[in-house]
Amino acid sequence: MKALLAAVVAGVLSVTAPALAAASTDQVLVAQAKTEPIDINRAKAEELMTLKGIGEARAAAIIKGRPYARKDELVQKKIIPESVYNDIKDKIIAKQ
């Protein structure tokens, strides 16, 4: 039974390992966005666009409005609406 389980696990790993190794940059950015806050003063547009409600135009506006002393300046400077800010405020930071 152990030999069969080991064979199944080895088979699964041989199929999934190459796929995991070939993960695209976008997939890595999405995974990062789930674990680490995004620094709005340094993030690239692609990283910003992983946030709910942030598309190309808003990402460009965030980048253009830099630097930010505090993350709530996104609303104060009218870069994003408060409803979007409320969705993302726990996922962003403004490092100096």
Q: Which backbone phi and psi does 62 adopt, to 5 degrees?
A: -60, -45
- Please give the Cα distance from 24 to 19 (Å, whole number): 10
Domain count, the chain: 1
Reported as a single tens digit per residue, the pLDDT across 63-84 is 999 999 999 999 999 999 999 9
pLDDT > 70: percent of the chain? 65
Q: What is the CATH number of the domain that holds 41?
A: 1.10.150.320
Is 33 part of any domain? Answer: yes
Which sign, positive or negative, has the C-alpha torsion 24, 25, 27, 32? positive
Supply the pTM of this predicted model: 0.66
Is 65 part of any domain? Answer: yes
Is 2 part of any domain? Answer: no
Classified as helix, coil or strand, 91 is helix
Is 73 part of any domain? Answer: yes
Domain of 35 in residue numbering reads as 24-93
CA angle 63/64/65 to nearest 5° reads: 90
